[in-house]
Structure 1
Amino acid sequence: MSIRKRKWTTPKDLIKEAWVVDYVDSQGTRRLKTFAKKKEADAFSATAKIEVRDGVHVADSASATIKQACGFWVASGENDGLERSTINQRQRHVKLHIEPFIGNALLSRLNVPAIREFEDKLRDEGRSPAMIKKVIGSLGSILSDAQERGLTVRNPVKDMRGTRRTGKDRQAERRQNGRIKVGIDIPTREEIKAIVGSLEGRWKPLLITAIFTGMRSSELRGLRWQDVDFEKRAISVHQRADEFGEIGRPKSCAGERTIPVPPLVINTLREWKLACPRRETVRLDPNGNPATELHYVFPNGLGKIESHANIINRCLIPVQIKANIIQQDGQAGKAKYTGLHALRHFYASWCINRLEDGGLGLPLKVVQERMGHSTVTMTADTYGHLFPRGDDADELAAAEHALLS
């Protein structure tokens, strides 16, 4: 590997010069790279020498663009059998947020400053902080896939995350995101009472079950009658329905769980089972018509999987408006909670709250199992602040008396 100075004369008799790094890459191909300054050539030479020695060097002329790497990344997900909703999300991130800004950039020239500039572009174009975080995460996954294919040497997204998240950064992020709060993210006891009192018709059993099991929307939509044990008063989660109505396994191994339920849920489901729509089967009844059967607990009118949008727009939002649970921002008739996850948050808080406060008083590990979280850390990070501290004034006074008496 050598560095030499090159001079030439332009057609206008101007003398120009540059520094050229002449080297042979890992595949034995001769490469030339030109720099305006010698210090830039020296820096490249030092880095390239190590990369060539380790067999990981990728020259600019042999490097792929980010757009090409995106195509490989999406194809990898399809080959790995990822769910259609996950593939669609990858495609949306690529088409709407990555390719329009940096699709033509070479992977070999991507560095931490370029990633920061990309973040700024997304922010200037009106992307929300949550969306920027998701897109940068997808870009990091794209670069990891490209690394495995030998298309790039490093992943600047990982380098950036490793250097920027200091203790102050994490504190600032916690302050920005905040903790989920009762009355803002979690319905209050009074609001839940109002919702339960306003429920009627086909949506009543669904919301009753959501409130007292904390099941995800996808788990509720995929719930089968065979998973409801009326004798043991428990519901087992074995599958879920994605946004396209396709059945799959729960989000993680911990998602497969059995949830004890109170008598209200059992009694409501017993009544609902008599009126629940049945789905057609391939069998024929004695009259020659398609035979029907009970299958999904909360189906649509044809006995098939209900859509998430219908549950929100025809169930959750109208019942809140009926119960007068609306946003206090001057917009009349706007429901306060717009997603079923609010009911999941309530169930977690109900499991955590002390018995004297109307809760179950369950320990952290049991709450994790009931929620179907993959780790107890996830439960602690999300709901840890809701657990009673056990050091209020009365308990401190009792402990002091027991110690000093």
Structure 2
Amino acid sequence: MAKRGHGDGSIYQRKDKRWVACLVLEDHTRKYLYGKTRKEVQEKLRTAIAEQKQGILATGPQQTLAAYLDQWLETVHKHTIRIITYQHYESLIRNHIVPGIGHITLQKLTAQHVQSLYNDKINDNLAPRTIAMMHAILHSALDNAVRWSLVSRNITDLVSIPRVTRRHEVKVLNPAEAKRLIEAAEGHRLKFLLILAITTGMRRGELLALRWSDIDFDQQILQVQRTVNRLGKYGFVENPPKTKSSRRRIVLSSIAIDALKEHRKMQDEARALAGAEWVEQGLVFPNIFGRFMDPNRLGELFHGLLKKADLPSMRFHDLRHSAATILLSLGVHPKVVQELLGHSTIVMTMDTYSHLLPSMQKDAMDKMDDALQ
């Protein structure tokens, strides 16, 4: 063993010429630090002693990032998130994070490793929003690793992520186009769902989870209390709305109330026609047998009606944007639109529909001219 320098602690050189520093931990176990030179391990030892005094020294077992992420997701994070979020996280970890950096030991993972992963994904044309979600996963996982004393700090704090831009071009219907779509749906079972989507701005999952018990026809009020998604092996999964603001009360228009009353009569006929095959779940917009409507089937029917109405292709979610755009263009206060859509803040509403502000300002100035002339 080579002679130790004053204040070095336990530093020695092995037969293979590698230098080793040994630090005795509070539980009397030892932590070994390795390097090519005496100076390198001496610096590592000094850092470790300082971290030990601060209570941030990583003392956990060595494992790959892949092994740790699997443990973290299955034993910790899975029980704090929704199934749909869990599936999304698991997919990103399996398809993007693990193939890129999963082989690296957790304790040896650096900001450069993570930054290179993001840069590779950018070069592969992965959406910035997806990379941002990967970053959120790694940041949360490494925060937990710090709490477990597996690493001394969260290196993702040192990583830059690409700027997130809107992934889809928002397409909206004006009032005339919305009316044309509804007219094209005359006689179609989707007509009443489209009316409610356009007049309330409800999300697809909220509409498909809506039950008759959620509607007060006397007060003309609808309660949004749940949402539904179809998730692979899990099938249809119902959850309460994700945020408190999403769980909301919507005052219905007369057009919507009349449509729902007509729809209820037609559903009674469909129930009788299905006979014993009908499964009563109290859904307002079920499939032809009373069960949850498949979101993909809804999309197919929706695109067929767009084509019939000679309207450009768009996502079903764009009906939500259409509802907000129509209301804002009619001068409805943004705070009312925020509450209708279930946005958590008015800032979210205005950021989403900021493209309308110039025309709204022009209307405001025209009104100012009228008032002062």
1:203 is matched with 190
Change (3 A) 1:246 1:279: farther
CA contact (8 A) 1:279 1:304 kept: no
1:304 shift after superposition = 1.0
Alpha-carbon shift at residue 291 of structure 1 (Å):
9.2
1:170-185 aligned within 5 A: 173=163, 176-177=165-166, 184-185=170-171
Matched residue type, 1:193: K
- Quote the residue 2:175 is aligned against: 189
**What letter matches 2:78 in structure 1?**
E
Write the letter of the residue equivalent to 2:107: S
Pair 1:343 & 2:330 matched? no
**Cα offset for 1:219?**
0.5
In 1, distance between residues paired with 2:105 and 2:239? 38
SS in 1 for 2:339: helix
The 8 Å contact of residues 223 and 239 in structure 1, kept in 2 or not, is answered as yes
Shift of 1:38: 6.0
CA deviation vs aligned residue, 1:267-305 (integer Å, no higher than 9, x gap): 11111101216999xxxxxxxx79975710000111111
1:152-163 pair list within 5 angstroms: 152-160=151-159
State the alpha-carbon separation in 2 of the partners of residues 22 and 46 from structure 1.
11
Residue equivalent to 2:215: 228
RMSD: 3.2
* 1:302-313 equivalence runs, <5 A: 302-313=289-300
Per chain length, whose mean CA-contact separation is higher, i.e. which structure has more relative contact order (CA < 8 Å, sep 6+)?
A: 2
3-state SS in 2 of match to 1:246: strand
1:379 aligns with 2:349: yes
Q: Tell me the equivalent position of 1:389.
A: 361
Q: Counterparts in 2 of 1:88-127, with a 5 A limit?
A: 88-127=87-126
Query: 1:30 corresponds to which residue?
Result: 30
Q: Is the 8 A contact 1:279 1:293 kept in 2?
A: no
1:254 paired with 2:241, answer no
Instruction: Give the Cα separation in 2 of the matches to 1:24 and 1:83.
Output: 42
Residue 189 to residue 57, structure 1, CA distance change in 2 (3 Å): same
Q: Aligned partner of 1:114: which letter?
A: H
SS in 2 for 1:219: helix
Residue identity in the other structure for 2:327: C
Which runs of no fewer than 5 residues in structure 1 stay unpaired?
A: 11-16, 281-288, 327-335, 354-358
Cα offset, 1:151, TM superposition? 2.0
* Amino-acid identity (%): 26
One-letter identity of the residue aligned with 2:332: L
**CA positional deviation for 1:6:** 6.2
The residue aligned with 2:3 is none
Q: Answer yes or no: is the 8 Å Cα contact 2:210–2:226 preserved in 1.
A: yes
**Match in the other structure for 1:329:** none
Deviation at 1:135, TM superposition (A): 1.7
The equivalences for 1:317-356 within 5 A come to 317-326=303-312, 336-337=313-314, 339-353=315-329
Of residues 271, 276, 283 in structure 1, which corresponds to 2:262? 271
**8 A contact 2:277–2:289 mirrored in 1:** no
Corresponding residue of 2:4: none
Question: Distance in 1 between the 2:92 and 2:213 partners?
Answer: 38
1:295 aligns with 2:272: no
TM superposition shift of 1:307: 1.4
Structure 2, gaps ≥5 residues long: 1-6
Displacement of 1:203 in angstroms is 0.6
CA contact (8 A) 1:90 1:138 kept: yes
Aligned-residue offset at 1:68? 2.0
Number of equivalences: 356
